[in-house]
Amino acid sequence: MSNEGILVAFLILASGILSLELGISVSVMEILAGVAAGTFAGLRSSDWLEHTAAFGLLGIMFFAGFETDLVMLRRNWRSSLAIGLASFFLPAFLVGGASFFLLGMSAQTSILTAIGLSTTSLALVYADLKRQGLLKEARGQALLGAAMVVDVVSMIALAVLFEGLTVVSLVVLGLVVVWMTRLPRLCRWLFIRYAGNEIELKTRFVLLLLLSLVIASKQASVHVSILAFAAGALLNEVLAEHGELQIKLQSIVFGLVAPVFFFKAGLSVRLINLHTGLLPALAVLGLASFGGKIAGTWLAARRFLPAAEARRAAILFNYQLSFGIVTAAFGLESGIIDASGYLTILVLVISSSLFTTLLARFHQPPAGAAVRPPLISPWE
């Protein structure tokens, strides 16, 4: 593990430096570093890399929830819901239809492919909005909420159509929801009772909380990223009251485990495994996914945002990563898709994120733009 760990640490550091020099999102550079390591250095995933990457996803989603303004989100829930639903269902319809009618896939394979290629990476959208300083504005919160809607709908579709929601999973989910609503009070009591300790109890408690969500998500058939996002949103005020805890957690997440998550995502792709037989599927599904996502997001966003910002949102929502990879892995393990289908989804998910990064650079929000008033639904 020593040589492997050193190589991973070096590539993550190098990708960070390159992102600063080139002005490209650091998460995308970390994905490219993973692709390069797997293709040219022959690096393979290992247990420590898998576990660290999984914790990185938890941390990213936790802080995405933490930076969500629940008051502003409730105020703009119609815009978030409309954009999120349109952003998922239009590309899902196009990808599913193309898979079944043009590529001759089975109905089950077509549906799973449609789900995997219609997601939006909440982690990457959050990172982009944070980098642009939009999370304090109504438009940023509306888009973050819409990205969350896409993830939730994707998770529900996968669970209902393939994993199956049982009575036990629904009961567990209900218990988890009740327990999470009590989290703020529990944290305040715990932090006050053990204030001034030297064992970093606050940090230990939050890390244990995030890890416990993995078990809860498996029992409830809910993707763990959704629970981590909810936990971050519920603990928003608590963390704000303990600034030193927030800084420590940010150092752990964004300085260590989050880069490993993005690196591991790129490591899943082996460019050497690509062959000309995959080109028709890549071309057809890529066009349906990317075009459908842009059209669906833009058609909904233009009702709530100015034209330039609606176009940027349409591009931004083509960030695809974690849940698309999760869907592909589930399909491969369950036999719904084969190795070629798995590679096709991975390549399209990651290339979509890379292409989105390039397009987003030409659609930056105007510098020094004033904070916009809260979005108002045209139906109100």
Domain spans of the chain, in order of start: 2-360
What is the pLDDT of the chain when averaged over all its residues?
83
Q: Which residues make Cβ contacts (< 8 Å) with residue 365, sequence separation at least 6?
A: 132, 134, 309, 312
Spatial distance between the Cα atoms of 76 and 215, rounded to a whole number of angstroms: 32
Model confidence over 88-132: pLDDT tens digits?
Answer: 999 999 999 999 999 999 999 999 999 999 999 887 888 788 877
Is 67 in contact with 89 (CB distance < 8 Å)? no
Best CATH choice for the domain 2-360 from the list 1.10.3720.10, 1.10.1060.10, 1.20.1530.20, 3.40.50.1820? 1.20.1530.20
Q: What is the pLDDT of residue 363?
A: 62
Q: What is the pLDDT of residue 375?
A: 41
Candidate from 97-106, 120-129, 291-300, 301-310 with smallest mean pLDDT? 120-129
Q: State the sign of the Cα–Cα–Cα–Cα dihedral 263, 96, 163, 176.
A: positive
pLDDT > 50? residue 301:
yes
Q: What is the pLDDT of residue 97?
A: 96
Helix (H, G, I), strand (E, B) or coil at 97: helix
The total of other beta-carbon atoms located within 10 Å of residue 216's CB is 17
